Structure 1
Amino acid sequence: MNASAAPAPPLRRLGLTGSIGAGKSTVAALLRAHGLSVLDADEQARLVTAEPEVLAQMEARFPGTVRGGVLDRAALAARVFPDPAAVADLNAIVHPRVRARMAELEAQAAARGERWVVQDVPLLFEGGLDAGMDAVLVVDAPLALRLDRALARGGLTREDILARDARQLPAEEKRRRATWVIGNTGDLGALAAQVAGVVKHLWAREAESGRP
């Protein structure tokens, strides 16, 4: 009788985060180009907030933020972000469902035999989720450049952006807590080279651990 196959080693997590306008989405796309699965918490949050049950809870807690069966994100932001208690209530509705979706996607990646998965989470440190990561990659850029990028995307004023930035962990503290920091000053070639270096480190960790 053949011995049972050894269980597959656990999937490792790379947390990806960065302050508003740093270029995290560009780095996520580059990581995908290297064959890594990137699980986007914001994307899962958008899917969660399209669920009828969640919309009903949103309208009950934040009246006027659901219009025609669709969440009015601008109205929600205006209602919630100035009020820490409202932010906590919003997180209580959305975050458990997002975490469940991320866990399911991670399980699918593990079943495919993937060795690393990237969790793209804007508030990774603020939510204490860095504790569950095997490594953390922070994308950073000077504040003036981040402001220009965020303004160019539209939808937010300079004051909105600065207020959101102020509610997050300071960029220097994110860098201090990171395993790796990528500086994104706008040169795509330099950015791609930095991402390739991080991916090389990921595979080197696999080799050091003796995993196939």
Structure 2
Amino acid sequence: MKIIGLTGGIASGKSTVAQHLGALGAVIVDADAISRALSQPGGSMYNAIMHTFGPEYRAENGQLDRKKLGACVFADPAQLAKLNAISHPLIRAEIGRQIAQAREGGAPAVIIDAPVLLESGMQDMVQEVWLAVLPVEEQISRVMARDGATKDAAQARIAAQWPLEEKKKYADVCIDTSGTIADTCRIVDKIWIERVQNSGNGAEKNE
């Protein structure tokens, strides 16, 4: 079984790539979905966030106020580092559990879909890093359209992650997502055949 880390900036088309890889037969381990589950009331991440950041980040319905927390951490690198120190170890442990489950199920490949795969040091859990690549100006436009964000807010969110050129240093595969969804899927099909179907699974990393 091949273990692949899929990453990319905000609104880079990474989710489109992940969905298509799932259709090709890969098991998708979604780091964002894991984060959301762990940060539900009573979850380990939720409790740690309330302890560290305070009850003002609890919404009226008891849920984590993600918008307020996001505004805090994306505006202050020190606060983002505090949040990452809470979230990354918990997410990493759950990813390891899901990889083991996929192995038992005989999956040909596991895709760890993680926007901060590199920033959080999770590349040591994978055999290859695949990077969704999009020009920054197009990325800003997509964030503004998708989230209703201002240009400044979109730029701040993008700046909170590593620059694209830095991520490319760690990437085994760069996937151009600047075209249509159909274009992206054709590119992914070719990469899947070359690097998964025809390459063998290779040695796995320890979780």
Q: Give the TM-score, by structure 1 length.
A: 0.86
Q: Indicate the residue corresponding to 2:2 in structure 1.
A: 12
Contact kept? 1:65, 1:71, Cα under 8 Å = yes
Tell me the C-alpha RMSD between the 2 structures. 1.9
**What is the one-letter code of the residue matched to 2:96?**
A
Q: Indicate the residue corresponding to 1:65 in structure 2.
A: 57
Q: 3-state SS of the aligned residue for 1:17?
A: strand
| Deviation of 1:50 (Å) | 0.4
Aligned equivalents of 1:190, 1:127: Cα separation in 2: 30
Aligned equivalents of 2:83, 2:202: Cα separation in 1: 42
**What is the one-letter code of the residue matched to 1:127?**
S
Larger-gyration structure (1/2): 1
Q: Which moved more, 1:93-102 or 1:105-114?
A: 93-102
| Deviation of 1:52 (Å) | 1.1
Cα offsets for 1:167-197 (capped at 9, x unmatched) = 3221122223211111112322221111001
**What is the one-letter code of the residue matched to 1:110?**
R
Aligned equivalents of 1:157, 1:59: Cα separation in 2: 28
CA distance 1:186–1:60, change in 2 (3 Å): same
1:161 and 2:154 are equivalent in the alignment: yes
Q: Indicate the residue corresponding to 2:198 in structure 1.
A: 204
Q: Which moved more, 1:94-103 or 1:37-46?
A: 94-103
| Deviation of 1:28 (Å) | 0.6
Aligned equivalents of 1:124, 1:208: Cα separation in 2: 21
Q: Indicate the residue corresponding to 2:171 in structure 1.
A: 178
- Out of 24, 29, 47, the position equivalent to 1:56 is 47
Contact kept? 2:168, 2:174, Cα under 8 Å = yes
Contact kept? 1:183, 1:191, Cα under 8 Å = yes
Q: Indicate the residue corresponding to 1:149 in structure 2.
A: 142
Q: Indicate the residue corresponding to 1:126 in structure 2.
A: 119
Q: Give the TM-score, by structure 2 length.
A: 0.88
Aligned equivalents of 1:94, 1:176: Cα separation in 2: 25
**What is the one-letter code of the residue matched to 2:57?**
T
| Deviation of 1:81 (Å) | 2.4
| Deviation of 1:207 (Å) | 7.4
**What is the one-letter code of the residue matched to 2:158?**
D
Contact kept? 2:2, 2:201, Cα under 8 Å = no
Q: 3-state SS of the aligned residue for 1:79?
A: helix
Aligned equivalents of 1:162, 1:144: Cα separation in 2: 9
Contact kept? 2:128, 2:172, Cα under 8 Å = yes
Q: What is the percentage of aligned positions where both structures have the same residue?
A: 34
Q: Which moved more, 1:72-81 or 1:152-161?
A: 152-161
| Deviation of 1:199 (Å) | 0.7
Aligned equivalents of 2:119, 2:88: Cα separation in 1: 13
Q: Which moved more, 1:11-20 or 1:154-163?
A: 154-163
